[in-house]
Structure 1
Amino acid sequence: MTERNWQKSTYSEEGSACVYLATTPAGTILLRESDEPETILPISPSQLGSLIARLRND
């Protein structure tokens, strides 16, 4: 199993549900939440950009 270098979002507050990101050698971005760390969502950089844009607009 590959060890991932998970980084916590700077918008996540201490003690709250946190979002973590990691990358794969292939360039895929992995997302997980602190409440369910075993659930990992693989997305592309463009999908992450779209997600962030949508969250900013909501």
Structure 2
Amino acid sequence: MSAFTWQKSSYCGEGNNCLNVAVFPDAAIHIRESETPNSVVTTARPQFGLLVDAIKSGSLSGP
């Protein structure tokens, strides 16, 4: 996991509970939460775009 270049979400602020994203040369998108850095979700760029659009639009509902 350390070979990835992780980018912290711009919505994170100063805390340590952040979403991190890394783009791998094969165009796979890796997502992790900073509190559990060894748990990584991997997806393709189009699906990640759909996730970001859904988050921005507020169409996802929480528990």
Shared fold per TM-score greater than 0.5 = yes
Asked if structure 1 preserves the Cα contact closer than 8 Å seen for 2:32 and 2:40, the reply is yes
TM-score in terms of structure 2 length: 0.80
- Which runs of structure 1 show a deviation greater than 6 angstroms over 4 or more consecutive aligned residues? none
Extract unaligned runs of 5+ from structure 1. none
Structural RMSD (CA): 1.6
Q: Deviations over 1:18-45 (max 9, x none)?
A: 0111111211010000111100000111
Cross-structure match for 1:40: 40
The percent identity for this pair of structures is: 33
Aligned equivalents of 2:20, 2:54: Cα separation in 1: 18
Q: Size of the alignment, in residue pairs?
A: 58
